Chain A
Amino acid sequence: MTYRPRARRLDNKPKVQQKPCAGIKLRAAFVMGLFVMAFCGLQVKLVTLGMLDGYEPAGNTIQTRLSADMRRGDIYDRNGELLATTLNTYSLYADPKTIMDVGEAVTKIAGVLPDMDTTILRDRLRRKGRFVWLRRNLTPQQAWQINALGLPGLGFRQEMARVYPHQSLLAHALGSVNNEGQGIAGVEATEEERLSQGQDVHLALDVRLQQALRDSLMETLVKTRAKAVWGISMEPDTGEIVAAVSLPDFDPNHYGSAHEEQWLNRISGGVYEMGSTFKLFTAAEMMDRKGVSPDQAYDCTSSISIGRFRIHDPYPKSRWLTLTEILRYSSNIGAARMADTLDEGEQKRFLDELHLLDRTDVGFSHVATALTPQRWKRIQTMTIAFGHGIAVSPVNMVAAVSTLVGDGNWREPSLIRDRAHAAPQRVVKPATVERMRNIMRDVVENGTATRAKVLGYDIGGKTGTAEKNENGAYLKDKHLASFVGVVPLDKPRLVTLIMVDEGYDGEKPGGGGSVAAPAFASFVRRAAPILGITPQITGDMPLVAEHPRVQRVGYETVSFNWGARR
């Protein structure tokens, strides 16, 4: 095949007959027409791009995409107080190439942000490349001040920051979020799905009571030099947790800088041998299921020896004690004697009805499972009767005690208001409730918990002092002291459990009566006025009450005793 240009024309054929090329031209024109249309389409697209508004480049800055993510939902307490929210913040970056005088820039930036490390700042500004982060999450004021420096090469990127205005107050309940804004602990983690979809979450907590509880526990932590102190307060009528504090805690705004010890939520993330507070369940079971009267007496003359176990009382009465007296003096022997009358399996069934052995997830991210003996025979029943050989979580404990002093119905403890809950379940008869209240009043009036008394309030409770078990051995000098208290007894508004880990009363290892009960009294003094419970002051009471006036200044609570001043 060879190319012969213009072969036809050289043949001198008339021009009219050169039409064969007309078809090619027509089709070529058609294709070119398509191209012209495509070009016009591009022009239109360009014009529409240019017409897009809402895009204002701010000065000499690199504009980055604003995250299209939905704004995370807020968290509120029961009264609508804001506990966690998402704010726009400004993050500062630099284009090292445009920075004219690194020394000047470092001095000026450090002037606005005094806590910035100047050597790191200098290094970053001298770095090669055209983009370095200098500081994340500045406040609008800081951003304004940096901007006012007029330094070239600095810019801001708008970001979302999670803010917890109450700082450490609700640390374990709220938890925190990671850098990507996803919940990693507390309600932030357990309600991640709703929060990430922009829905708000309402908690059962009341910040005022939370503040009251935290102040009392903080006071106790300092006074008793304890390793840790935690407490939980529940409304027996609803099962709602109104306050939950675990110290040491952390500031959710700076979750990452906290220590592991601070992250642990002891309220639901730990199980403990409760000690004598468990005698409440033994007494309740005897009266409710066995028809035993509070005046029924048991032989407490001498300690009990079964195999290698020996059950004894720290302050033995060495006589027969009634059921009421067993609780008043917290007699281990008495509790063991009572439980010894139960059939095998009865005790476990009763504790199950109170949901003490459940793994209860109320919305805290830490949930621990109860430790129960693998063999639950006579000796186990007798030690469990006074709270040894079994470990339960504080959340379950407070819900179980609420059942006994509330209306006899067990209610699922709840931290989050808009979650569905199991229906109340009847556990004990109203008559048993009445007797339990009287017994608990007696403990506070005449027994081990006299330091839980608050003048004018009808308080009931039970102390607990568990010897800590380390590597299988119970330690005489390391106590886990606890107190579970009710206020007011005739119509309970709050059931509160307070636990003190290795607290000291002076030089002595603290027990439930000496370190936990005073913490409860301190909490009642703060909480009762908030709840509107009026003290019943009768004629024979001293006119000057011991109630402190509570004054709130910012996030700090300053309390002082006006009785002492007058």
Chain B
Amino acid sequence: MKMFRLSGHPLVRWWWSIDRTAVFVALGLMLLGLVIVTTASSGVATDYDVDPYYFARRQLLFFALSFPFMLLITWLSPRGVRNTALVLFILAAIGVVATLFTGEETKGATRWIRLGPLGAVQPSEFLKPAFVILTAWLMSGEDGASRMKGFLTSMGLLAVMCALFMLQPNFAMVAVFGLVWWLQCFICGAPLRILVPMVLMGPAVLALAYTTLPHVKSRIQRFIDPTSGDTFQVDQAREAFMSGGFMGRGPGEGVVKQLLPDAHTDFIFAVVGEEFGIIACMILLVLYGVLFWRSFSRLMSQEDRFILLAGSGLLVLFGVQILVNVGVALHILPTTGMSLPFISYGGSSMLALSIVMGYVLALTRKGGKHVVKSVKDVQP
């Protein structure tokens, strides 16, 4: 074993350099997701008039593509992370623009484009990690002047993207981009006189969305006053948790899920609650926490502005995604379509979050190529 560990083979060096616990936890989450999608999608499959295992089979395919892709990304150096993110950003931005012209409309919004055999792709999912890394790069300048320039550049990019998302319309995406970007600015050390006015811009954008986007208005109204409209989804979700109790009804035994729209995507957490129980839900959150904590603590031992900013930005993105999805299912937040990382059904979401995780793992490598190099530099 020790021999293996000391082997100079690049594969072995790579394996010992990455956060293996995080890899296993991510793998575990993905496998759990496969099981949950299998049971959660059976009811939805009837609505879409496909066979009960249609979604499960597709999710298995997505997993088979995504997990190796994540491992592949962990090979990247920080510079590689930056360069690939730049390419990804350009491709995804083109995709988002394309949705406005050729997009497929699903449930009142055009967020998807069809890409041959891959099926429908949601480019905005990929824009999220790409933009986080781009922002980190722009803000990691050496001196104040270059940082200011980066800050203004990324703010301009953000404004353009938000405008695009509002056209789709996808207000939740605007909110997530805004929040993650603001937190990155905070971490970067932007002074309060910049941060506070930006916080005030949040409600302004929200008010704009509330008045111009009817679905945003109705969702917020229904969240504040449940009697003002149809709250079927959140009521069913709540009922699913109560139906399951602490221990759950057992895999495949869920009944509320049959009537729960989007049971396999945005409301999958409720299915976990009904079939596997609230204790399982809590364990799931703990697993996310482990992933979060491992990555964060390893990130803290890095001494590079770009790595710190990009890594914490990606973790924030990851965390927001979990919090929003679970918050909606528990009726703490108004209904928005946001997937639960690694668990929800969906190829775009699965692949995009694998990229997020892959980037995080790449940025938190220990004893990596450059570290070894620097050790040599120090010790000859």
A residues near B (Cβ < 8 Å) are 1, 3, 5-7, 9-10, 18, 20-21, 23-25, 27-29, 31-32, 35-36, 38-39, 42-43, 45-47, 49-50, 52, 55, 57, 60-65, 95, 128-131
Contacts and interface: CB of A to CB of B under 8 A. Distances in A.
A5 B79 contact: yes
Interface residues of B, number: 63
A10 B183 CA distance: 30
A23 B189 CA distance: 7
B263 interface: no
A131 B255 CA distance: 11
B296 to A, nearest CB: 5
B103 to A, nearest CB: 31
A468 to B, nearest CB: 54
B187 A5 contact: no
Given A3-B79, A39-B289, A65-B235, 14 more contacts: A1-B149, A3-B82, A5-B79, A21-B304, A21-B305, A24-B187, A24-B309, A27-B189, A28-B308, A31-B186, A31-B312, A43-B285, A47-B278, A55-B242
B189 A128 contact: no
B261 interface: no
B291 to A, nearest CB: 12
B229 to A, nearest CB: 15
A63 B187 contact: no
A7 B146 CA distance: 16
Given A62-B256, A62-B259, A129-B46, A6 B306 contact: no
A143 B79 CA distance: 70
7 contacts: A21-B303, A31-B183, A35-B323, A42-B327, A46-B241, A49-B241, A63-B255
B125 interface: no
A24 B146 CA distance: 17
Given A23-B189, A24-B188, A47-B278, A42 B374 contact: no
A49 B300 CA distance: 36
Contacts of B282: 43, 46-47
B319 A42 contact: no
Given A5-B370, A6-B370, A20 B305 contact: yes
Interface string B217-243: 000000000000000000100110111
B279 to A, nearest CB: 8
Contact of B186 (A20, A27, A62): A27
Contact of B278 (A10, A49, A62): A49
Given A25-B300, A130-B258, A35 B186 contact: no
Nearest to B81: A3
Interface of B: 43, 46, 77-79, 82, 137-138, 140-142, 146, 149-150, 183, 186-189, 235, 238-239, 241-243, 245-246, 249, 255-256, 258-259, 273, 277-279, 281-282, 285, 288-289, 292, 296, 299-300, 303-306, 308-309, 312, 315-316, 319, 323, 326-327, 330, 332, 370, 374, 377
A28 B187 contact: yes
Given A46-B278, A46-B330, A49-B330, A6 B241 contact: no
Contacts of B330: 42, 45-46, 49
Contact of B141 (A1, A36, A129): A1
Nearest to A18: B303
A35 B292 contact: yes
The 3 closest A-B pairs by CB, nearest first: A50-B278, A28-B312, A55-B242
B204 to A, nearest CB: 23
Contacts of A130: 43, 46, 258
A29 B242 CA distance: 35
A55 B243 contact: yes
A57 B274 CA distance: 11
A25 B249 contact: no
Contacts of A32: 292, 296, 312, 315
Given A24-B308, A57-B249, A128 B46 contact: yes
Contacts of B187: 24, 27-28, 31
B332 to A, nearest CB: 7
A493 to B, nearest CB: 51
Given A1-B141, A62-B258, A131-B258, A42 B323 contact: yes
Given A42-B330, A60-B255, A62-B258, A6 B304 contact: yes
Which of the listed residues A3, A29, A47 has the most CB atoms from chain B within 10 Å of its own CB? A3
Nearest to A52: B242
A6 B78 CA distance: 11
A95 B99 CA distance: 40
Contacts of B238: 49
A10 B303 CA distance: 13
Contacts of A52: 242
Contacts of B323: 35, 38-39, 42
Contacts of B141: 1
B256 A63 contact: yes
B285 A57 contact: no
